[in-house]
Amino acid sequence: MRVIFAGGGTAGHINPAIAIADSIRKMDAKSEILFIGTKGGMENRLCAEAGYPVWHIDVCGIKRKICFDNVKALYKAFTATSKAKKMIEKFRPDAVIGTGGYICYPVVRAASSMGVFTALHESNAIPGMAVKMLKNKVDRIYVNFEECAGLLGGGKNIIRSGNPMRTHSLNREKTREELDIAGKYRYVLLSFGGSLGAETINRECLKLMKNFTSKRTDIFHIHAVGKNGYPEFCRNFSEQGLSGCKNISIREYIYDMPKWLTAADLVICRSGAMTLSEIAASGRASILIPSPNVTDNHQYKNAKAFSDAGAAYTLCEGSPELDRLSELAETVLSDKKVREKMEENAKTFDFPGAAEMIAGEIFKLKENI
């Protein structure tokens, strides 16, 4: 089996593709996998880490305001499809799978026009622009939320699969041993704002470190700042006198995130669909700070579903309730019953086996085309 994946920009688009790719290789070790992305995208680091090659096409998004940059974006979009066709002709894939991002549309559109089997995966409750534009041109669409299937008009080619995730051990103590923190700390606190970073989460977590975790040597706090603002955060971290805190680790990006989710007692993060699926799979208590800068406020809807089920606390950006972050973190970590109940409720959102199911279907459906 030869498969091209098109998706990039953020980890939320790339990690599902890598999970499916891993499953394809498990089913057929001779499978050839190729990712198509952009030169500046995070797909380059993540795919390299996973052992997959990346070919590049220069494409970017169209801004909502009228500006000259949109002229360049339209030109790149126009030429991207022809470039994608050349790559497809060279690689000769049996299937092309798109998982979102600017690169997804031209590659999947090109493959569809060439008669190659095509599929899409949408992790959010609200379908992205690429999925909307391609919905009538692909052989299969996999969705995480039932709501998304409805918004795409339904149909036999739309399947609810859940979010594909890379498999990993869910044993907390064993994972802490692998991370070399077993026996050194009683609790593990994991915080992050996404692969690109989130200014609000970085700011509030810096306060949390200053007012809470730096004073609790029984807590190991690992925080991923993200690509944007990393030097500034490190500078502020040092200015706050936190550089000497051995129980706080600052990273730009956490490559072994599944392990840290497994090791964690509490997670503080945004509420994108992929992030919540990972939290559900690991069964971890969380404090969610949804991004307000997303289509149809879908992150708040995701977070509310978790908090309504007792799986998380939700704190809205720009609200005074963000001041409760330290208080809620202490409540979750200090009260075992509260924490365990949240973990139990988080697991009810888990949808296991998505990557394996999609990979299996790709093999079967390709044979029938």
Q: What does the DSSP assignment read for 100-130? A: ESTTHHHHHHHHHHTT-EEEEEE-SSS--HH
CB 15 within 8 A of CB 123: no
Break the chain into its structural domains and give their ranges: 2-164+353-367, 172-347
> Helix, strand, coil proportions of the chain in percent (round to 5)?
50, 15, 35
- Measured in residues, the chain has a length of 369
Q: Can you give the pLDDT at residue 258? A: 86
Section 5-29 average pLDDT? 91
Section 2-17 average pLDDT? 89
2-164+353-367 domain in CATH 3.40.50.2000?
Answer: yes
Whether 147 has a pLDDT exceeding 90, the answer reads: no
Q: How far apart are CA 286 and CA 265, in angstroms?
A: 9
Q: What is the DSSP letter of 316?
A: -
Query: How does the average pLDDT of the chain come out, rounded?
Result: 90
**Does the pTM exceed 0.85?**
no
What percent of the chain lies above the pLDDT cut of 90?
67
Question: Terminal CA-to-CA distance of the chain, rounded, Å?
Answer: 14
CATH of span 172-347: 3.40.50.2000
pLDDT class for 302, splitting at 50, 70, 90? confident
- Say whether 172-347 and 2-164+353-367 share the same fold: yes
Q: Can you give the pLDDT at residue 21? A: 97
Q: How far apart are CA 363 and CA 238, in angstroms?
A: 52
pLDDT class for 75, splitting at 50, 70, 90? low
pLDDT by residue (tens digit) across 332-354? 999 999 999 999 999 988 888 89
Torsion of CA 9, 19, 350, 199, to 10 degrees: -20
pLDDT class for 9, splitting at 50, 70, 90? confident
How far are the Cα atoms of 2, 236, 365 from residue 137, in angstroms, in the given order? 20, 49, 16
Whether 126 has a pLDDT exceeding 90, the answer reads: no
Residue scoring higher pLDDT (170 or 68): 170
Q: Can you give the pLDDT at residue 65? A: 52
Q: Can you give the pLDDT at residue 74? A: 57
Q: Can you give the pLDDT at residue 79? A: 82
